Amino acid sequence: MKVLGIETSCDETAAAIVDSDHNILANRVLSQLEEHEPYGGVVPEIAARSHMDHLDRLIREALDEAKLGFEDLDGIAATAGPGLIGGVFVGVMTAKAIAAARKLPFLAVNHLEGHALTARLTEGEAAAFPYLLLLVSGGHCQLLAVEDVGCYSRLGGTIDDAVGEAFDKTAKMMGLPYPGGPLMEQIAKSGDATRFDLPRPMKGRPGCDFSFSGLKTAVRKKILELAGADGAVSNLTDQDRSDLAASFQAAVGDVLIDRCAHAMDFFAARYGRPGPLVVAGGVAANLALRSRLTELTDQRQTRLLAPPVKLCTDNGVMIAWAGLERLRLGLTDSLDFAPRPRWPLDQLTGVKDRT
């Protein structure tokens, strides 16, 4: 089976093709970074127009890369939410048009399920159900038990900022250019993580919820102290920024380890083993945090499973694979499916809902 996947939920326009033998036949991603950089963040209207301008070309390039035509496909998948609704509409309507014209199944994929199932593409049997999922990105921070396609049990989530959002906002406060999250990881390598005493919100508390707002505020106070009387961020030295980034990243790592340890205890009580632990989403590309999570899974005698870095950020491969997983279970969608700006994973339906 071969499925075309379309991703337009935020500021990457992507099209990809995968097959049921776990092969990535094509992977095209166009970043909109230059278009949004002057505004310091994603502008929804600009994002949607860019998707309209480039999506058709990327689909054609994906087909050419895979040496396939529409007649060789078994299904068309598109992100149908959650996301910026203008962009989601562009991808969904394009996918519906292809499905209708070519009489192919249409698959409305939850963007978060795309992240959740990517490890099953890249890790194969190591990511057999059930597994524990840490989903960390710019908009989401959740711990979930993944029991099957469309079957997710939420163990905890953020009560304020997502971890990726906290990275980006902290970077902006420090005067780093957009997008700041990846730059934070880079400059943290030369920083002293012990210089600034930052809080570890929720650490040690029962449950699996997260909070990063207080940590972000604490960094803001340190920045004001370093900036001096005039409060200018430009007064910070490069070493100040590196030490702040390292201290912030260490605090985030401590919180993630603590929360994941609680989730692994819960998972072990329910399923008889602590993992494996799958980490997915844009923040999963942070290698320092991956290293911390690997230490935890080694201690618990289980495995950390993480997609390649290029498949952590938004891409069409994850949508194509999630679509393929749903297609082979017969979980297709009608052409009147309505895109959704919000769509929690635990509201999905899967094969277990039919038994």
Q: What are phi and psi of 20, to 5 degrees?
A: -75, -5
* pLDDT reported for residue 241: 97
Task: Give the Cα separation of 246 and 261 in Å (integer).
Answer: 22
pLDDT value of residue 145: 97
Decide if 6 contacts 78 (C-beta within 8 A).
yes
Strand-strand pairing, 2-7 and 75-81: parallel
- Looking at residue 351, its pLDDT comes to 61
> 352 pLDDT exceeds 70?
no
pLDDT bin (cut points 50, 70, 90) of residue 350 is: confident
Determine what percent of the chain falls in helix, strand and coil, rounding each to the nearest 5: 50, 20, 30
Q: In what order do the strands lie in the sheet with 151-157?
A: 151-157, 141-148, 131-136, 277-280, 304-305
**Residue 334 carries which DSSP code?**
-
Say what the pLDDT of residue 139 is: 86
- Assign 30 to helix, strand or coil: strand
User: Rounded mean pLDDT of 77-101?
Assistant: 98
331/3 Cα distance (integer angstroms): 14
Q: What's the rounded Cα separation, in Å, for the pair 174 and 306?
A: 29
**Residues 75-84 pLDDT 10s:** 999 999 999 9
Cα separation, 30 vs 115, whole angstroms = 18
The one-character DSSP state at 339 is: P
Q: CA-based Rg of the chain, rounded to a whole angstrom?
A: 21
Within 10 angstroms of residue 35's Cβ, the number of other Cβ atoms is 15
End-to-end Cα separation, the chain, in angstroms:
25
Q: Are 93 and 48 in contact (CB under 8 A)?
A: no
Average pLDDT for residues 133-155, to the nearest whole number?
95
Residue 354 pLDDT > 60: no
Give per-residue pLDDT as tens, 180-219.
889 999 999 999 999 999 999 999 999 999 999 999 999 9
pLDDT for 231 equals 83
Query: In terms of C-beta density within 10 A (0-12 exposed, 13-18 middle, 19 or more buried), how is residue 352 classed?
Result: exposed
| Residue 198 C-beta-side C-alpha neighbours within 13 Å | 33
Structure token pair of residue 48 = 């949607």
Q: Structure tokens of 191?
A: 């920083």
Q: What digits encode the pLDDT tens for the residues 212-233?
A: 999 999 999 999 999 988 889 9
pLDDT over 90 at 342, yes or no: yes
